[in-house]
Amino acid sequence: MNPTRYSEQEIAWLQSVDRDTVWHAFSQMSNYAGLIIDRGEGNWLIDIHGKRYLDAASSLWCNVHGHCHPAINRAIADQLEKVAHVTNLGMSHPETIRLAERLIRLAPESLKHVFFCSDGASAVEVAMKIAFQFWKQSGAAPQERNKFLVLGNAYHGDTIGTVAVGGVEQFHRLFQPLLFPVLRGPCPYGSRMHSERSEAVAQKHLDAYRSLLEEHAREIAAVLLEPLLQCAAGMVYHPPGFLKGMAELCREFDTLLIVDEIAVGMGRCGRMFACEYESVQPDVLCIGKGLTGGYLPMSATLTSRRIFEAFLGDASQTLYHGHTYGGNPLAAAAANATLELTQSMLDSGTISDRTNQMKTELEGLQSMSMVRRVDQLGMLGVVELGGPSNDPLRRLSKRVCEELLLEGVWLRPLGNAIPIVPPLSISHAELKLLFDSLRRVIQRVAMEGDNSGRLAH
């Protein structure tokens, strides 16, 4: 506990205005009572009462180097002395140019151009528009390709376009009347930690996508997928080989491959890009979240030269798309500093050490009666709770996260799953503290359940 710098009246005022005025994302406001964070120190958040929380969710998978990192703070402060904003429409800035060059140097070789946006959904929106327009003006025979082939349970953001390609019942079903039609294949449920049958599982799903492509390839502008792991779908890990297989199908059926690395990219998956695991060269790649270390909103859509060149010509071939803050120099400065840190952590083996520690901890949880599944890709882990029957236990993960908060660990549930997505900068001791707390709380909740007869299994 740290001393608070707020009086009781100030705290009461902040809580009441927050509840009554701020409409919080993905939150039922009728009974809202969230934390109010005053500041961050390294991997910790400190609320207005002075209580400290380990930010084990990296402030929604973004703050890969924690909070108030001196190098990122300095990069932003230095840039602020020069200029805060320069439009990307017909203008540029050295920091933004340096970032574009850096991204192309780091990204899969197929990618040569960078379109800057503001958040994950806008990066996916522009990826889809680029793919659609590409076919209209590429080569000698322009083609009308207005469908996207997407994965079951996909999540790519909350704008109408990204909701159309999404498939998470709870988030997307209501908006169906507003959405354009898409082709949807199965969700490739697999595992990274338990991959005994993975080849057969990958092949089964690839066969289903082959059938869809055989029938519809000429209508499909692009296959859009989150590679290796569908995070918001409830941490669905794909069987190894599925991504590579999908990339090969895209080549065989001459359609584009868009990969959404907004959650898994930027070092989060244990490599800079998830595509590296299966040596995949996508046509378009979207990044966001950890790009600026969670400091400022910025995302980017990277494309191949072939795609970029289809937009060269007269005014009618222009990509008429843009976001006011795309390429913002403050965000670019944060991103350059972040990527330098991430790269050096990848090179020094720090991320792989932490990943191995997380693997051991997750394996240790596996034997607990209330734990149905653990899995991991780099610094993206999951603990799924429940017994043999799913339904009565749906709120377990929520209860566990509420109890964890009392212990000073912040994690956010996703259905029955608890994603474990801590900062890449988490220390050995902090990661141990996280899992010690998680083990203790799961045990306690299971015992309370047993005592009340509700959770016994």
Ligand X SMILES: Cc1ncc(COP(=O)(O)O)c(C=O)c1O
Of 75, 103, 121, 371, the residue at the interface with ligand X (CB under 6 A) is 121
Is residue 380 close enough to count as binding ligand X by CB under 6 A? no
Is residue 263 close enough to count as binding ligand X by CB under 6 A? yes
Nearer to ligand X, 54 or 224 (CB): 224
Site string for ligand X, 5-34 (x = CB under 6 A): ------------------------------
Here the tokens at position 38 are: 């005053």
Q: Name the 3-class secondary structure at 49.
A: coil
Nearer to ligand X, 210 or 323 (CB): 323
Of 226, 361, 375, 430, the residue at the interface with ligand X (CB under 6 A) is 226
The least CB distance from residue 445 to ligand X, in Å, is: 27
Nearer to ligand X, 124 or 345 (CB): 124
Which CA distances in Å does 46 have to 40, 410, 434, 457?
6, 11, 16, 38
Is residue 413 close enough to count as binding ligand X by CB under 6 A? no
* Total residues in contact with ligand X, by rule CB under 6 A: 14
DSSP 372: E
Amino acid present at 454: R
Interface residues for ligand X in 280-299 (CB under 6 A)?
A: 288
Nearer to ligand X, 262 or 335 (CB): 262
CA distance 126 to 156: 12
Is residue 232 close enough to count as binding ligand X by CB under 6 A? yes
CA distance 9 to 224: 50
Of 47, 55, 119, 403, the residue at the interface with ligand X (CB under 6 A) is 119
User: Residue 183's closest CA among 211, 206, 141, 156?
Assistant: 211
Here the tokens at position 48 are: 């207005």
DSSP 326: T
Interface residues for ligand X in 138-177 (CB under 6 A)?
A: 155-157
The residue number whose beta carbon is nearest to ligand X equals 120
User: By CB neighbour count within 10 A (0-12 exposed, 13-18 middle, 19+ buried), where does 134 fall?
Assistant: buried
The least CB distance from residue 183 to ligand X, in Å, is: 19
DSSP 179: P
Is residue 125 close enough to count as binding ligand X by CB under 6 A? no
Radius of gyration of the chain (CA): 22
Is residue 260 close enough to count as binding ligand X by CB under 6 A? yes
The least CB distance from residue 187 to ligand X, in Å, is: 14
Neighbouring CB atoms inside 10 A of 19's CB total 14
Asked whether 148 and 284 are in contact (CB, 8 A), the reply is no
Nearer to ligand X, 233 or 393 (CB): 233
CA distance 188 to 203: 10
Site string for ligand X, 320-349 (x = CB under 6 A): ------------------------------
Of 262, 307, 374, 442, the residue at the interface with ligand X (CB under 6 A) is 262
Nearer to ligand X, 292 or 416 (CB): 292
The least CB distance from residue 83 to ligand X, in Å, is: 25
Which helix (H) or strand (E) segment holds residue 286: the answer is strand 284-287
CA distance 190 to 195: 7
Here the tokens at position 352 are: 């792989």
Asked whether 153 and 189 are in contact (CB, 8 A), the reply is no
Which helix (H) or strand (E) segment holds residue 437: the answer is helix 428-452
Neighbouring CB atoms inside 10 A of 12's CB total 11
The least CB distance from residue 19 to ligand X, in Å, is: 23
Nearer to ligand X, 241 or 419 (CB): 419
Is residue 231 close enough to count as binding ligand X by CB under 6 A? yes
**Kind of pairing between the strands at 299-304 and 111-117:** antiparallel
Stretch that binds ligand X, among 117-125, 138-146, 179-187, 410-418 (CB under 6 A): 117-125
The least CB distance from residue 261 to ligand X, in Å, is: 8
User: What are the residues binding ligand X (CB under 6 A)?
Assistant: 119-121, 124, 155-157, 226, 231-232, 260, 262-263, 288
